[in-house]
Amino acid sequence: MRPRGRRPGGADTRAAIVEAARTEFAAQGYDATSLRGIARAAGVDPALVHHYFGGKPEVFAEVMSIPVDLASLVGGVVSSPRDQVGEVMVRTFLHVWDSADGRLRFQALVRSAVSHEEAARMLREFLVREVFGKVSAAFAAREGHPGVELRAALAAGQMVGMAMLRYVLEFPVVVDSSQEELVAELGPVLQKYLAP
Amino acid sequence: MRPRGRRPGGADTRAAIVEAARTEFAAQGYDATSLRGIARAAGVDPALVHHYFGGKPEVFAEVMSIPVDLASLVGGVVSSPRDQVGEVMVRTFLHVWDSADGRLRFQALVRSAVSHEEAARMLREFLVREVFGKVSAAFAAREGHPGVELRAALAAGQMVGMAMLRYVLEFPVVVDSSQEELVAELGPVLQKYLAP
């Protein structure tokens, strides 16, 4: 989508919004930050923040350099056929992170989470609110059994841990595995967690 | 009271060995470092390194502040009854890391692995050589099917990822789960990886 009509400063304005958002998220966490607050800090109209980014998850993704259209990825996992959800989740994860760039971004995320308490907090709130909350809510509604929230988190943990071995510690056997080999091993595990 | 002459004095010598080992491991990685090399760098007899620490894994554990008797833990997993290996692995992991101190040590390990290429390398070499190599070799011998090395690594990845959520990102549902709840969910997953 291109900015329409009068453009108050284009790239500069966009950068100012991202900078203001970075400060707001770090100071208040993800949940307590609003688009309105970000706009105020950036000295722009809230409609402009909405115009440039869409919503709060998209601003956050930009701040954290998470290179994805998160809503459509989460939507894709949640709406996948029940018996394919494990495989879809693995493929989606590898699609996002399995590139030289993704690898560096994953490292950067882990580095900031482990070095700054406020980064861990905003990342946690974002992931719980926008990713795992949505996934586990969808499966709780579908499956209707208790413990689905913990199992959704452990499924996420499986992928985070695989990524630690593939992108950070670089375990040879994990680095050398193809995406298909990983899907074949991890898909059934995630399937069992989410929709046994 | 010990005579302080030819034989270098207790705590100082031990600290000097740890310091020399830290430098050697960082410079050369885990695999290429020898007890002899550490002794040379510390200016002591190799027998003294052996006397204080036992072997190379124990020196490394000391350098990395890994608070465990690694050999006995790995031995416990490897020698557990086939149908209990998943549960034993989860319990062993939680036993090591599930304390205020363990949590901080886990954070410190992740921080150094993600911040320093040489730390990631020596940690990887150590884990592959002394932990996962031994576990997967034991199961390859027992199970005799291919892919056991990747599955042992993914089992490890599951635990590393759980630890990222429990000790670093502090996902509420993972933090609030008891050890027994985690054993109940994770045990069968690890069991399936290691001895299906």
ipTM: 0.87
pTM of the model: 0.87
Contact residues, B window 143-182, toward A, CB-based 8 Å cutoff: 147, 149-151, 153-154, 156-165, 168-174, 177, 181
Residue A8 binned pLDDT confidence (cut-offs 50, 70, 90): low
Mutate to test the interface with B, among A165, A170, A194 (most CBs of B within 10 A): A165
Residue A3 binned pLDDT confidence (cut-offs 50, 70, 90): very low
Q: Choose the closest CB to B158 out of A111, A124, A158.
A: A158
Question: Can you say whether the dihedral through the CA atoms of A166, A172, A176, A181 is positive or negative?
Answer: negative
Structurally, at CATH architecture level, domain B11-62 sits in: Orthogonal Bundle (1.10)
- Stretch A13-40: mean pLDDT, rounded? 94
Contact residues, B window 54-113, toward A, CB-based 8 Å cutoff: 107, 110-111, 113
- Please indicate whether residue B3 or residue B89 has the higher confidence score (pLDDT): B89
Quick check: A114 and B123 CB within 8 A? no
Own/partner contacts of B10-18, CB < 8 Å, gap of 24 or more, are: B13/B42, B13/B44, B13/B48, B13/B52, B14/B52, B16/B42, B16/B43, B16/B44, B17/B42, B17/B44, B17/B48, B17/B49, B17/B52, B17/B53, B17/B59, B18/B59, B18/B62, B18/B63
Quick check: B127 and A169 CB within 8 A? yes
φ, ψ for residue A43, nearest 5 deg:
70, 35
Residue B116, chain A, CB below 8 Å: the answer is no
- Stretch A1-13: mean pLDDT, rounded? 58
Quick check: B147 and A189 CB within 8 A? no
Over residues B71-105, the pLDDT tens digits come to 788 899 889 998 999 999 999 999 989 987 899 98
Question: Look-up: residue for tokens 């400060």?
Answer: A23
Cβ-Cβ pairs closer than 8 A, A with B, add up to 125
pLDDT of residue B180: 97
Residue B174 binned pLDDT confidence (cut-offs 50, 70, 90): very high
Residue B123, chain A, CB below 8 Å: the answer is yes
Domains of chain B, residue spans: 11-62, 67-194
CA–CA separation, B142 vs B129, rounded Å?
19
Among candidates B99, B96, B39, which has minimal Cα distance to B64? B96
- Please indicate whether residue A28 or residue A9 has the higher confidence score (pLDDT): A28
Residues of B in contact with A163 (CB under 8 A): 161
Task: Determine the residue of chain A that is closest to B122 in CA distance.
Answer: A169
Quick check: A147 and B185 CB within 8 A? yes
Quick check: A127 and B171 CB within 8 A? yes
A37 and A80 Cβ atoms separated by less than 8 Å: no
Residue A128, chain B, CB below 8 Å: the answer is yes
CA–CA separation, A20 vs A41, rounded Å?
6
Report whether pLDDT(A11) > 80.
Answer: no
Over residues A58-83, the pLDDT tens digits come to 999 899 887 677 778 889 988 999 99
Mutate to test the interface with A, among B90, B112, B169, B186 (most CBs of A within 10 A): B169
pLDDT of residue A22: 93
Over residues A91-140, the pLDDT tens digits come to 999 998 998 789 998 998 999 899 888 889 999 999 888 888 888 888 87
| Domains A11-62 and A67-194 equal at CATH topology level | no
Q: Choose the closest CB to B171 out of A111, A114, A124.
A: A124
Structurally, at CATH architecture level, domain A67-194 sits in: Orthogonal Bundle (1.10)
What is the rounded average pLDDT for all residues in chain B?
A: 89
